[in-house]
Amino acid sequence: MPTVFQPDFRMPASATHAPVNTTGAPITAEETQDYFTEVAVDYSAWSPSYNMHFGFWRAGLNPLRREGMLVEMNRAVGRALRLDESQPAAGRQRRCVIDMGCGAGATARTLVGDDASLYAVTVTNVPVQNRIAARLDAAAGVADRMAHIEADYTRTGLPAAQADGAWAVESACYAEGAAKADFVREAARLLKPGARLVVVDGFLLRKNPGRIAAWLHRLWADSWAVPTLAVRDDFTAALRDNGFEDIECKSLRWRVAPSALHIPVLATRFTLAELWKARGRLSPWRRKHIVASYCALALGMFWRDFDYCMVTARRAGC
């Protein structure tokens, strides 16, 4: 039986503080697309509704019920958009929001389902995700207010200054570089003046993490086809440089911890079941996907080097 753990686990031979590789060279856009295409169905083991992110725990939610926390993260994004502030009551007949890197559109589906005035455009460069999204939209009864486009979220081709809000939930990390400048630039172009951007993701807290954290980050990134996590200060600087104001960064470390703790049991059970079904043969990306699941939990233990945050910013001009 081949080993599940295909990636190279060797520690870098460099000094104690190895610099993080932020060039994106090990991972190409094509590899990212191949990864999501190949493991698309595997995400349903985490969430039948394809919430491809961690959950948001609050008082009143059962920490043993993962799906409720995943949906709550979607609603936390909706609250952070502050749509009622950016548009007066008289103009709320129709509002449009954009999910930049939507996966199968779960966040948009939750928000559109909660608010009848909302229309959503989702952007992904993985066709199979849009096919899954269309099926789930129809089941949720929101297909008439959802549009899924296949595009690079740094070059969407959508009209400028038309969106009442935009977000990226665990997807901004797939943009190039430590600042994710191309992603930020496109978000600024799409948003109306005064509209908000919400980014929920993991962030590096320093450019040169400790040796173990740097190795773990690289193993995680390569396994989930991520060029690099953003460095938090570089990312907020890119927001300022592209005309965003009122930038706030809030740690969600403890909010996501209850859902993260589901990983060991779920990933182990999933691995054993899939190996049994496949008679010990899993494709390289599926094996890496399993490795990354364990790495994500381990990376969260390095508090000096990593945090899971919600970053919000308002487009200047209003």
In order, the DSSP letters of 52-92 are: -S-----TTS-TT-HHHHHHHHHHHHHHHHTHHHHS-GGGT
- pLDDT tens string 261-272: 999 999 998 888
What's the pLDDT score for residue 109?
Answer: 98
Statement: residue 130 has pLDDT above 50: yes
Statement: residue 86 has pLDDT above 80: no
What's the pLDDT score for residue 14?
Answer: 42
What is the mean pLDDT of the segment spanning 12-25? 44
Q: Say if CB 8 and CB 284 are below 8 A apart.
A: no
Which class would CATH give 29-206+227-253+305-315? alpha beta
For the chain, give the mean pLDDT: 89
Statement: residue 23 has pLDDT above 60: no
Please list, residue by residue across 182-203, b when 16 or more beta carbons sit within 10 angstroms of its beta carbon and e when fewer do: bbbbbbbbbbbebbbbbbbbbb
Highest mean pLDDT among 3-17, 148-162, 270-284: 148-162
What's the pLDDT score for residue 7?
Answer: 37
- pLDDT tens string 132-144: 999 999 999 999 9
What is the mean pLDDT of the segment spanning 4-20? 41
What's the pLDDT score for residue 88?
Answer: 52
What is the mean pLDDT of the segment spanning 272-280? 84
What's the pLDDT score for residue 161?
Answer: 96
What's the pLDDT score for residue 24?
Answer: 41
What is the mean pLDDT of the segment spanning 200-219? 95
What's the pLDDT score for residue 215?
Answer: 95
- pLDDT tens string 39-55: 888 899 999 999 999 99
Specify the DSSP element, H or E, that contains 146.
strand 146-150
What is the mean pLDDT of the segment spanning 247-265? 97
In order, the DSSP letters of 210-255 are: -HHHHHHHHHHHHHTT-S-PEEHHHHHHHHHHTTEEEEEEEE-HHH
Distances from the Cα of 124 to the Cα of 37, 127, 148, 281, 298, angstroms = 11, 8, 8, 29, 28
Statement: residue 90 has pLDDT above 60: no
- pLDDT tens string 150-209: 999 999 999 999 999 999 999 999 999 999 999 999 999 999 999 999 999 999 999 999
Q: Domain limits of the chain?
A: 29-206+227-253+305-315
Residue 26 pLDDT class (50, 70, 90 cuts): low
